[in-house]
Amino acid sequence: MKDFSIRLAEVEDLNQLQKVARQTYTDHFTHIWEDAGKYYMENSFNKVVLKNELTNPNHLYFLGFEQEKAVGYMKLNIDQLLMESRHLNSLELERIYIRKNATGLGLGRQLIQLAFKEARERHKDLIWLKSMDSSTASIAFYEKQGFVMCGKDQLEWPFIKPEYRGMVVMKKQLKRETT
């Protein structure tokens, strides 16, 4: 396991966040798109969108570093309902993206643990996420962290190849710490 550092991203980190978002997405997901992900990245990782999200208190971005280089990030949505149950006290783990050369070295586990900590500090009962149903390695990773499948969804973005539209919804019930 490598030594990574993680910190909350601020508006001043906009350029660095955009760069790592595009790099990590390109590393792992361009094959699922007819246009190599161009439309998705332009609509999800442009500076206006990222700046709006960085200044919105409902969104938290964390950057993961190997030495001084950003190699991954995580996005949390603080007050996001779990779709099936309309669970009111839940937090969504929207993204954990890590550069291909840093995958499998422990950053993902550190980011997940940080997501659990953030959820507990906000007195959330549940943390949930979506993963592509074709991404068996990601699903296995989340299951190892205690997530269970609880539903299915479909991606409706233009240009996504039909065989990659399927998503699984996963959740993890958080235990309340007693004092």
Active site members: 142
Query: Cα separation of 81 and 90, whole Å?
Result: 6
Task: Provide CB contacts within 8 A for 103, sequence distance 6+.
Answer: none
Tokens found for residue 104: 């499998």
CB 125 within 8 A of CB 89: yes
* Bridge partners of residue 90, in order along the sequence: 126
Per-residue b or e along 85-98, where b marks 16 or more CB atoms closer than 10 Å to that residue's CB: eebeebbbbbbbbb
Inter-CA distances, 114 with 8, 21, 35, 127, 156, Å:
11, 19, 34, 12, 30
